[in-house]
Structure 1
Amino acid sequence: MKLEFCKPKNKLLETYMEGYYFLTQKEDDPTVEYLTFPNNFSIISVYQDTVIEFSENKAIITGKKNNSFSSDLICHYKKPIHVVCKGELNEITFYFKPLGLNSFLNKPLCDFTNDFFSNFIPYDDYTEKMQFILKEKDIETKKDLIEDYWLSKLTPFRHTFLHRVIEDLTNVNNDYSVAELADKYKTSRQNLSKHFETHLCKTPSEFKKIQRFREALKSKIEYKNSGENLTTLSNDLLFYDQSHLIKDFKSLTGLTPKAFFKNITSHQNGKINWLFTQ
């Protein structure tokens, strides 16, 4: 398996998209299995010539010369996803920042997420364009095609308070409760949750929990040689205490922090973090 993560070259696109990666696998490469973990990004994966079998929290992706195209969106998972990759694969996956994908859609995000893995075909020309991009061999041309296409669909999403709420929740120095956020932005907890579920497909509490987990992962990767322990990590990232950190990790990964960090594999300077099971 070959994996390459790219940050957007276009600064405007970088406002909305964290990046995208190319995953390729040869027909005779061994089967790869890994776990991927909850994220606050909206994640779109497109594939050429594959058969994909979905079940709850599992995707089996098998290369097959069938002239097929698949595009799947996931932005609302709370447990690890078990991914199995078999045979020849050609995949591009896009990571949109919180609220980022909304600026490329003509309907609320929740309208695209009826199922756990949602078939995502947002535009009339999407299938044709993505197939063309997937078949392109030159990597730099491929990047340009990707970025030009998404930028052609850009219609900035505006909201009276959600962008500012996200800024508050992604600032590690803040520890707002949902009630405090509602009060700060002159709305009710129920209305705040309604807008989160419509435009982010998760509740404010779920977003906050996943954000803390991701910040802990980022911090541990960045300072892996510093001897940073769980108590320091929990204090720095506004967990109530170490037991709170352990509880959240078990909920989101199925593992204790110690077991998780021992087994996790980070790619592309920590942009992609998978736990390989085979």
Structure 2
Amino acid sequence: MKIETFYPKNSILKEHIEYYYFLKTYSRDFKTAYYSFPNTLQSFNIHKNASYEIKHHSTHVYGVPEKKYLMIAQGKYESPLQVLLEGKLDKVTINFKPLGLNHFIRKPLAAITPEHSQSFHEWDQHADTSAFLNAFFGTNDNESRVDLLEEYLLKQYQPLGNEALLQKAIHSLMDFTTELPVQEIAAQLSVSIRSFNRLFFNNMGITPVSFRKIARFRHSLTNRLFNEQFKNLTDIGYESNFYDQAYFVKMYKKITGSNPGKFFKSVDKLADDHLIFQFLKE
């Protein structure tokens, strides 16, 4: 399995996309399984010659020569997602920032990604989609693929209504130094709590409370894996504003399936350390 990571070149896309990664396998006998964990980013996958099977908290993607292209959009999930990759695969994953995908679709995100994973057909009606896919997978040079992908994405781009308000909300929900109550965030934005919850869910596919839980998990994960000064689990929990150690452990068990200490020892970092996976042993 080969993974290469690239970053947006276009200034507009930099605002909405964190990074791309290309994954390729070369054997029909290839098989790997891993757990992916809740994230504030949103993954969008484009495959060549692949099909899929989606079950409860499980996504299986496998190479099928007669199938041409497959797009899968991930929604928000709050517990581990098991992913099984099998056979010869060739895919690009776009990891959008929290509001990013909204700029490239015409329906509310919540309507398009109601499940943890689903096939994506919003671009099927665009006349240039087929030409883009043929050109994209017609070259093996990933630099060229990035150029083709960005050219295509810019054709789909449109501004998002209420973006400034939503970005302020996301910033507040990810701020663990002050951690304002959701009701106070809504008040600061001059909207009712009901309107705020509805607007946030429509554009994020998740409630503000659940988004904050995922953001808190990712904040603590970053502190543990990438900041040398945070090695003690108590300090990690404190810095991410977990209420106490018992709550820290409880939330990790729910989000990762294991306690923090065991989880941190079991994960691997890939794609310039952006991907945090827990590979499953056969």
Fold shared per TM-score above 0.5: yes
Q: Which residue identity lines up with residue 275 of structure 1 in the other structure?
A: Q
Which of 230, 234, 237 is matched with 1:234 structurally? 237
Partner of 1:207: 211
Structure 1 pair 130–243 and aligned structure 2 pair: CA distance change class (3 A): farther
Structure 1 pair 230–48 and aligned structure 2 pair: CA distance change class (3 A): same
Q: State how far apart, in whole Å, the 1-side matches of 2:133 and 2:18 are.
A: 19
Partner of 1:51: 51
Partner of 1:277: 280
Structure 2 alignment gaps of length 5 or more: none
Structure 1 pair 194–155 and aligned structure 2 pair: CA distance change class (3 A): same
1:165 aligned counterpart, secondary structure: helix
Query: Which deviates the most, 195-204 or 168-177?
Result: 168-177
Q: State how far apart, in whole Å, the 2-side matches of 1:189 and 1:119 are.
A: 32
Q: 1:98, CA displacement in angstroms?
A: 0.9
Q: Does 1:247 align with 2:250?
A: yes
Q: Does 1:139 align with 2:142?
A: yes
Q: State how far apart, in whole Å, the 1-side matches of 2:18 and 2:79 are.
A: 21
Partner of 2:82: 82
Query: Which deviates the most, 37-46 or 196-205?
Result: 37-46
Give deviations 1:79-138, integer Å, cap 9, x for gaps: 211111111100111111111111122221122124442221222233542343133211
Q: State how far apart, in whole Å, the 1-side matches of 2:118 and 2:36 are.
A: 17
Query: Which deviates the most, 31-40 or 173-182?
Result: 173-182
Matches within 5 A, 1:123-134: 123=123, 124=126, 125-134=128-137
Are the equivalent residues in 2 in contact too, given 1:39–1:75 (CA < 8 A)?
no
Which of 184, 190, 205 is matched with 2:194 structurally? 190
- The normalised TM-score by structure 2 is 0.92
1:8 aligned counterpart, secondary structure: coil
1:71 aligned counterpart, secondary structure: strand
Q: 1:177, CA displacement in angstroms?
A: 1.5
Are the equivalent residues in 2 in contact too, given 1:218–1:270 (CA < 8 A)?
no
Q: 1:29, CA displacement in angstroms?
A: 5.4
Query: Which deviates the most, 167-176 or 5-14?
Result: 167-176
Q: State how far apart, in whole Å, the 2-side matches of 1:172 and 1:151 are.
A: 34
Q: Does 1:39 align with 2:39?
A: yes
Are the equivalent residues in 1 in contact too, given 2:76–2:115 (CA < 8 A)?
no
Q: 1:227, CA displacement in angstroms?
A: 5.9
Are the equivalent residues in 2 in contact too, given 1:169–1:176 (CA < 8 A)?
yes
Q: Which residue identity lines up with residue 248 of structure 1 in the other structure?
A: M
Identity of aligned residues (%): 29
Partner of 1:121: 121
Q: 1:241, CA displacement in angstroms?
A: 1.6
Structure 1 pair 114–241 and aligned structure 2 pair: CA distance change class (3 A): closer
Are the equivalent residues in 2 in contact too, given 1:47–1:90 (CA < 8 A)?
yes
Query: Which deviates the most, 187-196 or 30-39?
Result: 187-196
Q: State how far apart, in whole Å, the 1-side matches of 2:130 and 2:116 are.
A: 21
Are the equivalent residues in 1 in contact too, given 2:54–2:118 (CA < 8 A)?
no
Which of 259, 263, 280 is matched with 1:260 structurally? 263
Give deviations 1:126-181, integer Å, cap 9, x for gaps: 35423431332112111111112112221121306212111212234331111221
Q: Which residue identity lines up with residue 188 of structure 1 in the other structure?
A: S
1:32 aligned counterpart, secondary structure: strand
Query: Which deviates the most, 267-276 or 114-123?
Result: 114-123
Give deviations 1:180-212, integer Å, cap 9, x for gaps: 212222222222111111000000001000001
Q: State how far apart, in whole Å, the 2-side matches of 1:94 and 1:257 are.
A: 28
Structure 1 pair 193–216 and aligned structure 2 pair: CA distance change class (3 A): same
Are the equivalent residues in 2 in contact too, given 1:48–1:131 (CA < 8 A)?
no
Q: State how far apart, in whole Å, the 1-side matches of 2:42 and 2:251 are.
A: 21
Are the equivalent residues in 2 in contact too, given 1:3–1:22 (CA < 8 A)?
yes
